[in-house]
Protein backbone atom coordinates (compact mmCIF):
# COMPACT_ATOMS: atom_id res chain seq x y z
CA UNK A 1 0.00 0.00 0.00
CA UNK A 2 2.96 2.31 0.61
CA UNK A 3 4.03 2.07 -3.04
CA UNK A 4 0.48 2.87 -4.18
CA UNK A 5 0.37 5.96 -1.98
CA UNK A 6 3.73 6.99 -3.38
CA UNK A 7 2.36 6.72 -6.91
CA UNK A 8 -0.63 8.91 -6.05
CA UNK A 9 1.58 11.45 -4.28
CA UNK A 10 4.50 11.48 -6.72
CA UNK A 11 2.62 13.34 -9.44
CA UNK A 12 3.36 16.58 -11.29
CA UNK A 13 1.68 19.68 -9.80
CA UNK A 14 -0.67 19.68 -12.80
CA UNK A 15 -2.42 16.58 -11.43
CA UNK A 16 -4.06 15.79 -8.10
CA UNK A 17 -5.23 12.28 -7.20
CA UNK A 18 -6.96 10.89 -4.13
CA UNK A 19 -9.07 7.92 -3.09
CA UNK A 20 -12.66 8.44 -1.92
CA UNK A 21 -13.66 5.03 -0.60
CA UNK A 22 -13.09 2.77 -3.62
CA UNK A 23 -13.21 5.58 -6.21
CA UNK A 24 -10.02 7.16 -7.57
CA UNK A 25 -10.48 10.90 -8.15
CA UNK A 26 -8.07 12.45 -10.68
CA UNK A 27 -8.12 16.21 -11.14
CA UNK A 28 -6.37 18.23 -13.86
CA UNK A 29 -4.80 21.08 -11.90
CA UNK A 30 -3.54 23.84 -14.20
CA UNK A 31 -6.43 26.32 -13.92
CA UNK A 32 -4.18 29.23 -14.88
CA UNK A 33 -3.59 27.42 -18.22
CA UNK A 34 -7.22 26.30 -18.61
CA UNK A 35 -5.89 22.82 -17.74
CA UNK A 36 -3.97 22.64 -21.00
CA UNK A 37 -2.17 19.30 -21.31
CA UNK A 38 1.61 19.27 -21.46
CA UNK A 39 3.81 16.17 -21.71
CA UNK A 40 4.35 16.10 -17.95
CA UNK A 41 0.60 15.94 -17.35
CA UNK A 42 -0.01 13.29 -20.01
CA UNK A 43 2.79 11.12 -18.60
CA UNK A 44 1.31 11.67 -15.12
CA UNK A 45 -2.05 10.40 -16.38
CA UNK A 46 -0.31 7.32 -17.74
CA UNK A 47 1.43 6.79 -14.40
CA UNK A 48 -1.85 6.98 -12.48
CA UNK A 49 -3.83 4.62 -14.67
CA UNK A 50 -0.97 2.14 -15.06
CA UNK A 51 -0.69 1.77 -11.28
CA UNK A 52 -4.25 2.16 -10.00
CA UNK A 53 -4.25 1.34 -6.26
CA UNK A 54 -5.55 -2.11 -5.38
CA UNK A 55 -9.16 -2.08 -4.26
CA UNK A 56 -10.09 0.70 -6.69
CA UNK A 57 -13.40 -0.04 -8.40
CA UNK A 58 -13.82 3.02 -10.64
CA UNK A 59 -12.21 6.37 -11.39
CA UNK A 60 -13.43 9.93 -11.97
CA UNK A 61 -11.53 12.56 -13.99
CA UNK A 62 -12.34 16.26 -13.65
CA UNK A 63 -10.72 19.67 -14.00
CA UNK A 64 -9.95 22.45 -11.52
CA UNK A 65 -11.16 25.96 -12.29
CA UNK A 66 -13.43 27.12 -15.10
CA UNK A 67 -12.51 24.46 -17.68
CA UNK A 68 -12.04 20.72 -18.04
CA UNK A 69 -9.16 21.14 -20.50
CA UNK A 70 -8.42 23.53 -23.36
CA UNK A 71 -6.25 20.87 -25.03
CA UNK A 72 -2.59 20.64 -25.93
CA UNK A 73 -0.39 23.32 -24.39
CA UNK A 74 0.77 24.89 -27.67
CA UNK A 75 3.47 26.88 -25.87
CA UNK A 76 5.34 23.59 -25.50
CA UNK A 77 4.97 22.60 -29.16
CA UNK A 78 8.53 22.40 -30.48
CA UNK A 79 10.01 22.07 -33.94
CA UNK A 80 10.79 18.37 -34.24
CA UNK A 81 11.41 16.03 -37.14
CA UNK A 82 8.77 13.68 -38.46
CA UNK A 83 9.96 10.63 -36.54
CA UNK A 84 10.05 12.54 -33.26
CA UNK A 85 6.55 13.82 -34.02
CA UNK A 86 5.31 10.27 -34.50
CA UNK A 87 6.86 9.19 -31.20
CA UNK A 88 5.24 12.15 -29.44
CA UNK A 89 1.81 11.27 -30.81
CA UNK A 90 2.30 7.62 -29.90
CA UNK A 91 3.15 8.66 -26.35
CA UNK A 92 -0.28 10.29 -26.09
CA UNK A 93 -1.86 7.16 -27.57
CA UNK A 94 -0.08 4.95 -25.03
CA UNK A 95 -1.09 7.20 -22.12
CA UNK A 96 -4.76 7.47 -23.09
CA UNK A 97 -4.95 3.74 -23.78
CA UNK A 98 -4.25 3.25 -20.06
CA UNK A 99 -7.46 5.21 -19.43
CA UNK A 100 -9.65 3.45 -22.00
CA UNK A 101 -8.18 -0.04 -21.60
CA UNK A 102 -6.98 0.16 -18.02
CA UNK A 103 -7.97 -1.55 -14.80
CA UNK A 104 -11.16 0.35 -13.92
CA UNK A 105 -13.98 2.19 -15.72
CA UNK A 106 -13.48 5.96 -15.84
CA UNK A 107 -16.12 8.70 -15.59
CA UNK A 108 -15.21 12.16 -16.95
CA UNK A 109 -16.89 15.26 -15.53
CA UNK A 110 -16.76 18.05 -18.12
CA UNK A 111 -17.27 21.80 -17.83
CA UNK A 112 -16.11 24.81 -19.78
CA UNK A 113 -13.61 24.02 -22.53
CA UNK A 114 -13.29 20.40 -23.62
CA UNK A 115 -11.17 21.14 -26.64
CA UNK A 116 -8.50 19.35 -28.68
CA UNK A 117 -6.47 17.18 -26.35
CA UNK A 118 -9.06 17.72 -23.63
CA UNK A 119 -11.67 16.10 -25.86
CA UNK A 120 -9.20 13.31 -26.64
CA UNK A 121 -8.86 12.60 -22.91
CA UNK A 122 -12.63 12.76 -22.40
CA UNK A 123 -13.22 10.41 -25.34
CA UNK A 124 -10.87 7.85 -23.76
CA UNK A 125 -13.12 7.73 -20.68
CA UNK A 126 -16.12 5.42 -20.56
CA UNK A 127 -18.84 7.75 -19.28
CA UNK A 128 -18.96 11.52 -19.83
CA UNK A 129 -21.04 13.87 -17.68
CA UNK A 130 -21.23 17.40 -19.10
CA UNK A 131 -22.27 20.53 -17.25
CA UNK A 132 -24.18 23.10 -19.28
CA UNK A 133 -21.10 25.34 -19.62
CA UNK A 134 -19.23 22.65 -21.57
CA UNK A 135 -18.21 23.26 -25.18
CA UNK A 136 -16.30 21.04 -27.58
CA UNK A 137 -13.99 21.77 -30.49
CA UNK A 138 -11.15 20.27 -32.54
CA UNK A 139 -9.39 23.45 -33.75
CA UNK A 140 -6.14 21.86 -34.90
CA UNK A 141 -7.01 22.29 -38.58
CA UNK A 142 -7.20 26.07 -38.21
CA UNK A 143 -3.71 26.03 -36.69
CA UNK A 144 -2.18 24.06 -39.52
CA UNK A 145 -1.79 20.84 -37.55
CA UNK A 146 -3.61 17.52 -37.19
CA UNK A 147 -4.90 15.81 -34.08
CA UNK A 148 -2.37 13.43 -32.53
CA UNK A 149 -3.85 12.16 -29.29
CA UNK A 150 -6.47 9.80 -30.69
CA UNK A 151 -9.30 12.17 -31.67
CA UNK A 152 -9.46 10.88 -35.25
CA UNK A 153 -10.14 7.39 -33.88
CA UNK A 154 -12.19 7.90 -30.72
CA UNK A 155 -14.37 10.92 -31.56
CA UNK A 156 -15.87 9.43 -34.77
CA UNK A 157 -16.91 6.40 -32.72
CA UNK A 158 -18.92 8.77 -30.51
CA UNK A 159 -20.46 11.13 -33.08
CA UNK A 160 -19.69 9.69 -36.53
CA UNK A 161 -17.09 10.57 -39.14
CA UNK A 162 -19.11 13.33 -40.84
CA UNK A 163 -19.59 15.36 -37.66
CA UNK A 164 -15.95 14.88 -36.69
CA UNK A 165 -14.87 16.00 -40.15
CA UNK A 166 -17.07 19.09 -39.82
CA UNK A 167 -15.47 19.97 -36.47
CA UNK A 168 -11.97 19.54 -37.90
CA UNK A 169 -12.58 21.31 -41.22
CA UNK A 170 -14.41 24.35 -39.84
CA UNK A 171 -13.30 24.63 -36.21
CA UNK A 172 -16.96 24.42 -35.25
CA UNK A 173 -17.69 24.78 -31.54
CA UNK A 174 -20.37 22.42 -30.22
CA UNK A 175 -22.24 23.51 -27.06
CA UNK A 176 -23.10 21.13 -24.24
CA UNK A 177 -26.71 20.53 -25.25
CA UNK A 178 -25.85 19.59 -28.83
CA UNK A 179 -22.91 17.53 -27.63
CA UNK A 180 -25.23 15.49 -25.45
CA UNK A 181 -27.71 14.97 -28.29
CA UNK A 182 -25.08 13.75 -30.78
CA UNK A 183 -23.37 11.48 -28.27
CA UNK A 184 -20.25 13.18 -26.93
CA UNK A 185 -21.66 13.03 -23.41
CA UNK A 186 -24.17 10.57 -21.99
CA UNK A 187 -25.38 12.89 -19.23
CA UNK A 188 -26.09 16.63 -19.14
CA UNK A 189 -26.47 18.39 -15.79
CA UNK A 190 -26.76 21.91 -14.45
CA UNK A 191 -23.65 23.94 -13.74
CA UNK A 192 -21.92 22.85 -10.53
CA UNK A 193 -23.68 19.47 -10.36
CA UNK A 194 -21.32 17.47 -12.54
CA UNK A 195 -19.05 16.12 -9.83
CA UNK A 196 -21.93 14.82 -7.71
CA UNK A 197 -23.47 13.11 -10.74
CA UNK A 198 -20.12 11.70 -11.83
CA UNK A 199 -19.42 10.33 -8.37
CA UNK A 200 -22.90 8.79 -8.23
CA UNK A 201 -22.25 7.02 -11.54
CA UNK A 202 -18.77 5.90 -10.47
CA UNK A 203 -20.23 4.39 -7.31
CA UNK A 204 -22.90 2.59 -9.33
CA UNK A 205 -20.23 1.23 -11.68
CA UNK A 206 -18.15 0.16 -8.67
CA UNK A 207 -21.01 -2.06 -7.51
CA UNK A 208 -20.70 -4.22 -10.65
CA UNK A 209 -18.63 -7.38 -10.60
CA UNK A 210 -15.02 -7.07 -11.71
CA UNK A 211 -15.73 -9.46 -14.59
CA UNK A 212 -18.65 -7.36 -15.85
CA UNK A 213 -16.61 -4.17 -15.83
CA UNK A 214 -13.66 -5.89 -17.51
CA UNK A 215 -15.93 -7.22 -20.26
CA UNK A 216 -17.50 -3.80 -20.87
CA UNK A 217 -14.12 -2.03 -20.98
CA UNK A 218 -12.04 -4.53 -22.93
CA UNK A 219 -14.33 -6.89 -24.82
CA UNK A 220 -17.31 -4.75 -25.88
CA UNK A 221 -15.16 -2.26 -27.88
CA UNK A 222 -13.52 -5.15 -29.71
CA UNK A 223 -16.91 -6.70 -30.43
CA UNK A 224 -18.03 -3.38 -31.93
CA UNK A 225 -14.92 -3.27 -34.19
CA UNK A 226 -15.07 -6.91 -35.32
CA UNK A 227 -16.94 -8.59 -38.16
CA UNK A 228 -20.37 -9.92 -37.20
CA UNK A 229 -19.21 -13.56 -37.14
CA UNK A 230 -16.20 -12.78 -34.95
CA UNK A 231 -18.23 -10.42 -32.77
CA UNK A 232 -20.94 -12.97 -32.06
CA UNK A 233 -18.34 -15.59 -31.12
CA UNK A 234 -16.64 -13.13 -28.72
CA UNK A 235 -20.05 -12.36 -27.21
CA UNK A 236 -20.75 -16.07 -26.68
CA UNK A 237 -17.38 -16.66 -25.05
CA UNK A 238 -17.73 -13.62 -22.79
CA UNK A 239 -21.28 -14.57 -21.79
CA UNK A 240 -20.16 -18.07 -20.83
CA UNK A 241 -17.19 -16.79 -18.84
CA UNK A 242 -19.20 -14.12 -17.01
CA UNK A 243 -22.10 -16.34 -15.98
CA UNK A 244 -19.74 -19.01 -14.63
CA UNK A 245 -18.18 -16.74 -11.98
CA UNK A 246 -19.19 -17.22 -8.33
CA UNK A 247 -20.30 -13.57 -8.04
CA UNK A 248 -22.64 -13.91 -11.02
CA UNK A 249 -24.13 -17.12 -9.64
CA UNK A 250 -24.77 -15.49 -6.27
CA UNK A 251 -26.38 -12.40 -7.82
CA UNK A 252 -28.63 -14.52 -10.02
CA UNK A 253 -29.65 -16.58 -6.98
CA UNK A 254 -30.59 -13.42 -5.06
CA UNK A 255 -32.62 -12.16 -8.03
CA UNK A 256 -34.53 -15.44 -8.40
CA UNK A 257 -35.26 -15.39 -4.65
CA UNK A 258 -36.69 -11.89 -4.95
CA UNK A 259 -33.90 -10.36 -2.86
CA UNK A 260 -32.43 -8.13 -5.58
CA UNK A 261 -33.87 -4.96 -7.08
CA UNK A 262 -35.69 -5.28 -10.37
CA UNK A 263 -35.07 -2.90 -13.29
CA UNK A 264 -36.76 0.44 -12.61
CA UNK A 265 -36.98 0.03 -8.84
Whether pTM > 0.95 for this model: the answer is no
**pLDDT digit of tens for each residue in the chain (265 aa)?**
344 545 677 899 999 999 999 999 999 999 999 999 999 999 999 999 999 999 999 999 999 999 999 998 877 767 778 999 899 999 999 999 999 999 999 999 999 999 999 999 999 999 999 999 999 999 988 888 899 999 999 999 999 999 999 999 999 999 999 999 999 999 999 999 999 999 999 999 999 999 999 999 999 999 999 999 999 999 999 999 999 988 878 877 766 667 667 666 6
Give Cβ neighbours of residue 103 (< 8 Å, ≥ 6 apart). 49, 52, 56
CATH number of this structure's domain 2-206, picked from the four choices 3.40.50.670, 3.90.226.10, 3.30.390.10, 3.40.50.970: 3.90.226.10
φ, ψ of residue 144 to 5 degrees: the values are 80, 15
Please tell me the predicted confidence (pLDDT) of residue 1.
38
| Domain residue limits, the chain | 2-206, 210-256
Radius of gyration in angstroms for the set of CA atoms belonging to the chain, rounded to a whole number: 19
Cβ neighbours of residue 144 closer than 8 Å, sequence gap 6 or more: none
State the pLDDT at residue 3.
46
Summary count for the chain: helices (H), strands (E): 12, 9
Q: List b or e across 252-265, with b for residues whose CB sees 16 or more CB atoms inside 10 angstroms.
A: eeeeeeeeeeeeee
3-state DSSP call for residue 25?
Answer: strand
* Predicted local confidence at residue 257, as pLDDT: 67
How far CA 31 is from CA of 67, 78, 95, 176, in Å, comes to: 7, 23, 21, 20
Active-site residues: which are they?
A: 120, 140
pLDDT of residue 2: 42
Fold agreement (2-206, 210-256): no
| CATH tag, 210-256 | 1.10.12.10
Amino acid sequence: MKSENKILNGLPPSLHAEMVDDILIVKLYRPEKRNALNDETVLGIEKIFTAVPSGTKAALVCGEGKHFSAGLDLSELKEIDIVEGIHHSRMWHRALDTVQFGKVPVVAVLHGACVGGGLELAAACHIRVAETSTFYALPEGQRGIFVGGGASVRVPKLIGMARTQDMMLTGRVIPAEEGNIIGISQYLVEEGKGFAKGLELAQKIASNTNMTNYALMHVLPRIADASQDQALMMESLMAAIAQSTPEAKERLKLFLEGKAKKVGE
